[in-house]
Amino acid sequence: MIWRDAMPLGRLLAASEVVAREFYSRPAAGVARDLVGKLLVHGRAAGRIVETEAYLGAEDRAAHASRGLTNRTRALFGPPGHAYVYFIYGMYECLNLVAEPAGSPGCVLIRALEPLAGIGLMRQRRPAARRLQDLAAGPGRLTLAMGITREHYGADVTRGPLQVRRFLQDLPIEVQVSRRVGIRHCADWPLRFSAAGNPFVSRPWPENAVLTSEVC
C-alpha cells in the first residue's frame, strides 16, 4: 500500500503562517478548542491537529501542574507557546503546548493528527501502523510519527523546527466537546476537543455519554 502526502510540505507552508504567542496567552480550554484544525509541523513532517485536551493547572487534579513547580513542570509555569513533553508508561512521549500567561500553568495535550506531509517518513517511524488513520491517532503515536521527543521540552513553537501554524484561509470546522480520557481525576470535565466526524481522532465520542462541568 502506498500512502501519499495530501499536500507537499512547501505548499502547506506557503498556505499557512506561524501562530503567534498571543494565541496561547489565554485560558487553556479556549486554546485547546482553537488548536483543532491548526497545523503541527516538525522538520519534514506535518499534520492537522484534530484532537486536543485542556489541563487547567493547580485546580485540576489531572494536571501535572497541580503538584506545584518542580523540575519536571517548570515549562508549564513559564511563558506560553512552548512545548511541555513528558514520558509516560515507560514507552511514550506526549506533547503539550503551554497556555495562559506565565505563572498560570495551563496546557493543551495534542491527542491526534491527520497526517498531511512527510507521510513516508512518519510511516518509517511508525512501522506498526496498519492504516493511515492509525499513524498519528493518540498522543504517543503522534510524537513517534512526528519525531518529537523529550529533547523538545521547552521548545518555542512560535519559531524553530517545531511549529504550530494556521491556514491563511481557514476552512470551517465543527468542534466536538467531550470528557477527557485515560485519566482518573476530574475525568468528567468537558475539556476534550475534536474535529467532528474526523476519522483520524484517537477515540470516537460515545453518543450516549453525558457532559458535566462539575468541579471535582
pLDDT mean for each 10 residues of the chain (216 residues): 87 97 96 97 97 89 78 89 87 92 92 97 95 95 97 95 94 89 83 94 64 38
Write down the pLDDT at residue 209.
41
* Residues belonging to the chain: 216
Write down the pLDDT at residue 207.
58
What the chain holds in terms of domains, given with CATH numbers, is 9-195 (3.10.300.10)
Residues with Cβ within 8 Å of residue 208, at least 6 apart in sequence: none
Q: How many CB atoms lie within 10 A of CB 55?
A: 27
pTM, two decimal places: 0.91
Residue type, 49: I
d(CA 45, CA 93): 17
Q: Spell out the alpha helix ranges (H) of the chain.
A: 9-14, 28-35, 119-125, 139-146
Write down the pLDDT at residue 125.
96
Write down the pLDDT at residue 214.
40
Residue 102's closest CA among 80, 71, 128? 80
First to last CA, the chain: 47
Beta-sheet pairing, 39-42 with 162-167: antiparallel
